[in-house]
Amino acid sequence: MIVRPRPTLLELFGIWRLSVLSKIAPQILGLALFSALVTGLAHRWPAVLGRFSVAPFTLLGIALSIFLGFRNNVSYERWWEARRQLGALIGECRSLARVLLATRGGDRLRRERVVRGVIVYVYALMAHLRGESVPAMVVRSNPQQAQAQNVPDALLRELAAECGAMLAAQEFGEQLYQRLDERLSAMAAIQVACERIRSTPVPFSYTLLLHRTAYAFCFLLPFGAVGTLGLVTPIFCAVVAYAFFGLDELASELEEPFGVWLSALPLTAMARTVEINLLEALGEQDLPEAAVPVDSILK
């Protein structure tokens, strides 16, 4: 995720690496060259290419803008829901550790083991959502669960089994166990919600329709604009293409909030936050450093 101060007016037009422009530059350049070709042909045969009107493109552009805006809203809703779910996960992990460690009596080491298991679970979940391999810390601490088809779910079942064993050993009563089970159930619901977002993309036919319409509009636009704008047509078409192609690319990034691209959620940083909070609750002094942006990117 991009984390940087708001750019000044001079910096606004100089940002390249963190801009969507770096990804759509080939399309814009290709359209500008095509527009220049159309402009040259219109100058050579004005009676053929210079008589088209830009009015139909205005109406089509308005409709295309509405469709692109709708897709961007859908993609942002997916991104924001994923952020809300992971924020709730951090709160549930803190609550579980607080309830478990605040109660006196019982096997303190077992309770600390459960809290450390929550940290392992969060790292496993983040890797699961990104489609990465099982983290080494999961393999070391839970080699059997690391072989499961759904590693986070297997780790969550292990945590539930530990809490059930503590209840059977009468280390706490039914009321406390119910509170712990509510926290674990909430964590499971959050995992399901994130998996739903990850496995259910925006319908491909809808995305394909927008792609085709945007490209068709931008490559037909020079024919309608050259009669009015003349030599300025390539610049005008490049600016329009930046707006349409940029919105389309941005929606594609936001559509997958658990990826590794610039607009994706900082899953590693969130897992590190849980680790720091829970180790601090355990009384650890040697805490890991909080994740910080590197070159304005927080992972």
- pLDDT, one tens digit per residue, over 78-116 is 999 999 999 999 999 999 999 988 877 778 888 999 999
Identity at 246, one-letter amino acid code: G
The domain spans of the chain are 81-201+268-291
**Out of 14-28, 49-63, 275-289, least confident range:** 49-63
Whole-structure pTM value: 0.87
- pLDDT, one tens digit per residue, over 149-204 is 999 999 999 999 999 998 888 888 888 889 999 999 999 999 999 999 999 888 88
Q: How far is CA 161 from CA 114, 205, 229, in A?
A: 10, 44, 72
Q: Which residues contact 81 (CB under 8 A, 6 or more apart)?
A: 193, 197
Rounded Cα distance between 196 and 191, Å, is: 9
Give strand pairing partners of 2.
297
Q: Stretch 252-257: mean pLDDT, rounded? A: 87
Nearest C-alpha neighbor of 77 from the set 281, 293, 254, 295: 254
Name, of 122-131, 139-148, 287-296, the range with top average pLDDT. Answer: 122-131
Please count the other Cβ atoms lying within 10 Å of the Cβ belonging to residue 209. Answer: 13
Q: Stretch 123-132: mean pLDDT, rounded? A: 93
216 vs 262, more confident: 216
Q: What is the 8-class DSSP label of residue 54? A: S
Q: By percentage, how much of the chain surpasses pLDDT 90?
A: 36
Q: Residue 238: CA atoms inside 13 Å, Cβ hemisphere, count?
A: 16
- pLDDT, one tens digit per residue, over 202-216 is 888 888 888 888 888
Tell me which H or E stretch contains 179. helix 174-199
Rounded Cα distance between 71 and 13, Å, is: 26
Identity at 87, one-letter amino acid code: G
Identity at 245, one-letter amino acid code: F
Q: Which pLDDT score is estimated for 15?
A: 67
Residue 2 phi/psi, 5-degree rounding, is -75, 125
* Number of residues written out for the chain: 299
